Structure 1
Amino acid sequence: MKVVFFLGLALLSCGAEGACRGLVDNGATVFDVTKYGAVADGEQECAQAFIQAFNAACKSNGAAKVVIPPGTYMSGEVFFQGPCTAPAPITVEVQGTVLAQTDLSEYVNGQWFAIQNIDGLVLEGGGTFNGRGNESWRYNDCGGQVACDSLLPPSLVFNKVNNSLLQGINIVNSKGFHMKICESYNFTAQGLNITAPWDSPNTDGIHISRSDLVTISNTTIRTGDDCISIGEGSTNSCVSIGSLGQRPDEEDVRGILVANCTLSDTTNGVRIKSWHESPNLQASNIVFENIVMDNVRNPIFIDQNYGSKNKPGSSNVKISDIHFKNIRGTTSSNVAVSLNCSDTVPCEGIELVDIDFKYIGKTTAQDVTLTAACENAKATFSGTHNVSPCVV
């Protein structure tokens, strides 16, 4: 899968009090991981050297930068733990390539690089995190299940990381999700390159949950699962939303903008999905705008029967105030719009404006009329569109 974001963004991150954290060279003290025992031979374990270098930087009294120089380093599980006494931002500059340990027993806490409880982080440098998932994917025993607790470790996990910037980093072949952003505020990711083979299991590009003001821009993602998944409790985030309602303690999703994107050769385009038999939740004020699709099977898709497999029960996630605007391109399906909503809480306020697709499937194009399929959905079509509206 591939999705490219072209959202404009300044190279500054401003916190709640208005203090901007930029990328200005402020004479930071450099904490070189090789000075703490890291060896760039791709064979010796470097996790403790990374942790020690970060801890020293975090506890310093002045501006600090952790540097992973050019070369190849191997590492098991790593924790970069705040809060830090060093003034924000604390910078981690990855210039080389970091290889993940292939022994899954090394990941006691179920993640590779975990960065948490930091206010003001810059992670940059043009380097690469290689999860070496190709040597571990055979151990994924989910067997295609939509609900599975046996997922492999994600590569980068940001938990309670606020007012921070991640830029110019390559994340490849993660064992599990490539990146997770959890319980974070004002987090910007830009200029990333996230890749894994199309058939790699559960290798979502970026998963966002319980976070506010997350912006992703100028990023290329080609993975074996969702490019970007926006989970429960996310607000004001900037492409699959869900799955919602899998767990009883989930929170509402609102204020989501997905704009100025190109999606190529994907199964699904812009999608909202919720579980059947879910708790009571709301997903509202969501906008998909100015999106180009190239050979996408299901361009516009709401699925409120996710995980049902013909089981009884309905989703209790209320989906409302959803806008699909200026979405165009090519599709291999004659059903360009599918709104499969809950019979318990039908979708309301679904707006489709300027929807324009060309059919490129196996049937002769002139014999195909592009249609919309709507179930339990109140939808309006306006503007210029070549998709036959569904009758509600």
Structure 2
Amino acid sequence: MVSSLVGQFVCFVFLVVVSISRVRAKQTVFDVTKNGGVADGKTDNSKAFTDAWTQACQTIGGGVILFPTGKYLVRPVILKGECKGPIGLQIEGTLLAPQGVQSSVDIDHWIKFQHVDNLNINGGGLLDGQGPSAWHHNNCLEDPECMRLPANLRFDFVTNLNIDHITSINSKNLHINFFACKDVKVTNVNISAPAESPNTDGIHIGSSSNVQILDSVIATGDDCISFSAGSSKITVSGVHCGPGHGMSIGSLGRGNNNDVSFVDIRNCSFVGTDNGVRIKTWAPSKQGTVSHVYVENIRMEQVKNPIVIDQNYCPARRCSATESSQIQIVDVKMINIWGTSSTPNAVTLKCSETKPCQNIQLRDINLSYKGPEGPAVSACSKVDVITDGKQNPPACTKPVIQVPHNFDVLN
């Protein structure tokens, strides 16, 4: 009898402890409309947003900032950690950036997160950067002193980040920018801007590691995804890209850290893009390395340049025709890439004169072109190519198109 009562008491205590743990684990929700937010598309909700963030961040056990359905104008904000628990941003409505350029001050963000750990952004909502009102200010190719336009979402020194079921449209500049972030997972995002919109990269990754981008649609006026200096252990899978410039490693060579490694791109599609998968470095450049790049199971549909290594990248002035890139590209595998090219340039491997590409593997490439300039071609310069399986076009056959005089074509 006594033992039975003791057992029942122990069980009761256990259930109470579990119940308390569950209550504590449930995060408090901070509705911006309860902090003065107004969903009329006109009222500035930046203070309501930052107030809700401060409350959630300082809540032991964590908190969630909620934007219910409706339209919320939000001026540029910076949301900082460290927080006292996991923190969430649940966007169910539409966030609107201010129209035009707000001031003469160079600002790199619309919504920026800094030094936050364990952040979740979801809710199925929309971020509208209202880019058409500012794109005409983007003249950086002509003016080196140009003013940067803001990214829709910027993350600096953020760890354990999850972004799921969010739509970003018409950013004034980049849509999502990761700098010095770690352990990031992006799933089911939809990013879009017109093909002619300038510098509207979908996702830009720099100095970050352990980043996953999965099952998303990106259609912009620049790179769908760009991997810049300091990026490592990046996985991309199930991403549809187009329109845009494709997925690019680089450009590299202008900064002090020019290393990119362990980039894994699989099961993706490119439709109507300027490039497919591209590695680009400046010439001349500082030293660096691109290594362990794995690209597999990629569908190309009417892509201008499906496979590209360009170590003489020079979209503007201040380049040299006589100096070489000092970026070493090594251990790149392209496997099972098929579809159509909209130009004869299906495979272009244009490597550095002083740092030739090493161990570039092409396996089961099937890219066709039908047009007045003849079949698809491969062109190579200063590269060690290893081929296996089907090669269409034949690896490094003589192109029928005009190439630069210093571009060696290997038969």
Alignment correspondent of 1:327: 337
For 2:267 and 2:168, locate their aligned partners in 1 and report how far apart those are by CA, in whole Å. Answer: 22
Q: Given that residues 173 and 197 in structure 1 are in contact (C-alpha distance below 8 angstroms), is that contact kept between their aligned partners in structure 2?
A: yes
Q: Cα distance, 1:138 vs. partner?
A: 0.8
- 1:292 and 2:299 equivalent? yes
Q: Given that residues 291 and 328 in structure 1 are in contact (C-alpha distance below 8 angstroms), is that contact kept between their aligned partners in structure 2?
A: yes
Alignment correspondent of 2:156: 159
- In structure 2, relative to structure 1, the CA distance for the partners of 1:72 and 1:142 (3 Å cut) is same
For 2:89 and 2:207, locate their aligned partners in 1 and report how far apart those are by CA, in whole Å. Answer: 24
Q: 5 Å matches for 1:1-392?
A: 26-85=25-84, 87-88=85-86, 90-105=87-102, 109-143=107-141, 150-238=147-235, 239-247=247-255, 249-307=256-314, 311-363=321-373, 368-390=374-396, 391=410
- In structure 2, relative to structure 1, the CA distance for the partners of 1:294 and 1:180 (3 Å cut) is same
Q: Given that residues 340 and 375 in structure 1 are in contact (C-alpha distance below 8 angstroms), is that contact kept between their aligned partners in structure 2?
A: yes
Q: Cα distance, 1:144 vs. partner?
A: 6.5
Normalising to structure 2: TM-score of the pair? 0.84
SS of aligned partner of 1:200: coil
Q: Cα distance, 1:77 vs. partner?
A: 0.6
Alignment correspondent of 1:4: none
Q: Percent identity?
A: 39
More helix as a share of residues: 2
- In structure 2, relative to structure 1, the CA distance for the partners of 1:350 and 1:203 (3 Å cut) is same
1:173-195 deviation digits (Å, cap 9, x = unpaired): 00000110111111000100000
Q: Cα distance, 1:282 vs. partner?
A: 0.5
Q: Cα distance, 1:262 vs. partner?
A: 0.3
- Given residue 113 of structure 1, which amino acid in structure 2 is its aligned partner? I
Larger relative contact order, structure 1 or 2 (CA cutoff 8 Å, min sep 6): 1
Q: CA RMSD in A?
A: 1.8
Moved more, 276-285 or 352-361: 352-361
Q: Cα distance, 1:118 vs. partner?
A: 1.1
- Given residue 196 of structure 2, which amino acid in structure 1 is its aligned partner? D
Alignment correspondent of 1:3: none
Q: Given that residues 295 and 360 in structure 1 are in contact (C-alpha distance below 8 angstroms), is that contact kept between their aligned partners in structure 2?
A: no
Moved more, 316-325 or 57-66: 57-66
For 1:312 and 1:123, locate their aligned partners in 2 and report how far apart those are by CA, in whole Å. Answer: 48
SS of aligned partner of 1:155: strand
- In structure 2, relative to structure 1, the CA distance for the partners of 1:311 and 1:151 (3 Å cut) is farther
SS of aligned partner of 1:104: coil
SS of aligned partner of 2:102: helix
1:105-160 deviation digits (Å, cap 9, x = unpaired): 35763310001111111100000110000010011122468x77533111100111
1:272-313 deviation digits (Å, cap 9, x = unpaired): 000111111000011111100000010000000011766432
Q: Which ranges of structure 2 fall in alignment gaps of 5 or more residues? A: 1-22, 236-246, 397-409
For 1:143 and 1:172, locate their aligned partners in 2 and report how far apart those are by CA, in whole Å. Answer: 23
Q: Given that residues 24 and 61 in structure 2 are in contact (C-alpha distance below 8 angstroms), is that contact kept between their aligned partners in structure 1?
A: no
SS of aligned partner of 1:134: helix
SS of aligned partner of 1:50: helix
- Given residue 388 of structure 2, which amino acid in structure 1 is its aligned partner? S
SS of aligned partner of 1:163: strand
Q: Given that residues 332 and 362 in structure 1 are in contact (C-alpha distance below 8 angstroms), is that contact kept between their aligned partners in structure 2?
A: no
- In structure 2, relative to structure 1, the CA distance for the partners of 1:80 and 1:140 (3 Å cut) is same
Q: Cα distance, 1:328 vs. partner?
A: 0.5
Q: Cα distance, 1:161 vs. partner?
A: 1.2
